[in-house]
Amino acid sequence: MTAFEAIDAPESPSPTERALGAVGRREELIPASRAYCREAAREYGLDVAFSRLDWEVSTRAKRRAAAVKRPKIPDAEIGDPLDWASLAGDWADGTDPRRCTVSLTWAAYEAFDRAEWAATLRHELIHVEQFQRFGTTDHGAAFRERAEAVDAAVRCRPFADPKYVLRCSACGTVVGRRYRECAIVREPERYRSSCCEASVECSRSRDGE
C-alpha cells in the first residue's frame, strides 16, 4: 500500500479493493481477487453464482489479462436464457456444465495497477454472468452495455509494457523498468545510475493505451 491513500476519503477504495493492490505472492492472487469480485457483484448488481466458479492463476506469458474458460454449450445464444436443468442429462462426462473457470494471468496482475486489475475482474464477471445465464458469452452489444454499467473496459489493454521506464540522465541508458508505482518511481532523484553515477529519470511509458 502506498502512504498516499487517505483511507477515509469518500473516493477511497474498499478494503477488498485495497487488498487487491497488496498481493505479493501468486497464492494470494485468487483469494484477493475472489473477495473483491464478491463485493463488486453486490455493489454493481452482477448476477454471479460463485459456488459454480473455479479460479486459476496462469503463469505462462499471455496477452490476455484474464479469461473465462467454459464448456461449449451447443446452440446457446446471448439473450436466450438457457434451461440448464434440461441440459444436465445430456452432459455425459458427469461434470457440471454450469461450472466455469476464471483464469488470471500473473504477469498482468504485476503490470496493472490496482484500479486496472479491479476493472479487469469486473470485465470477467460480466463474462461469467452471461455464461451462467445464457450458456455463452461474447463482447457484443449486451456485453458493452453491461461493461458501461460496471465501469469495465470492453477490451483489456495488453499488459506487456511496463508502466515506468527509468533512464540514466547522463547517457540515456534504460536502467530499470517498473510495472507499478514504487519508491524509485516516486523519488527517482534519490537514486544514482550504475553506468554514470548520474541521477535517474523516470518517465511513464505509453500511458493509457
Q: Which residue ranges make up the site for Zn ion (CB under 5 A)?
A: 168, 170-171, 173, 193, 195-196
What minimum distance in Å lies between the beta carbon of 60 and Zn ion? 18
What minimum distance in Å lies between the beta carbon of 159 and Zn ion? 14
What minimum distance in Å lies between the beta carbon of 195 and Zn ion? 3
What minimum distance in Å lies between the beta carbon of 169 and Zn ion? 8
Angle between helices 114-134 and 29-44 (to 10 degrees): 70
How many residues appear in the chain? 209
What minimum distance in Å lies between the beta carbon of 67 and Zn ion? 7
Q: Tell me the backbone φ, ψ of residue 111, rounded to 5 degrees.
A: -85, -30
* CA atoms of 129 and 121, how far apart (whole Å): 12
Considering the complex, state which of residue 1 and residue 195 has its C-beta at the smaller distance from Zn ion.
195
* CA atoms of 5 and 172, how far apart (whole Å): 33
β-bridge mates for residue 177, sequence order: 165
Q: Tell me the backbone φ, ψ of residue 203, rounded to 5 degrees.
A: -130, 150
Considering the complex, state which of residue 17 and residue 129 has its C-beta at the smaller distance from Zn ion.
129
Considering the complex, state which of residue 19 and residue 168 has its C-beta at the smaller distance from Zn ion.
168
Give the Cβ contact number of residue 203 at 10 Å: 10
Judged by DSSP in three states, 163 sits in coil
What minimum distance in Å lies between the beta carbon of 131 and Zn ion? 11
Considering the complex, state which of residue 16 and residue 130 has its C-beta at the smaller distance from Zn ion.
130
Considering the complex, state which of residue 19 and residue 102 has its C-beta at the smaller distance from Zn ion.
102
Considering the complex, state which of residue 32 and residue 147 has its C-beta at the smaller distance from Zn ion.
147
Give the Cβ contact number of residue 183 at 10 Å: 11
Tracing cell 490476455 back to the chain, one arrives at 64
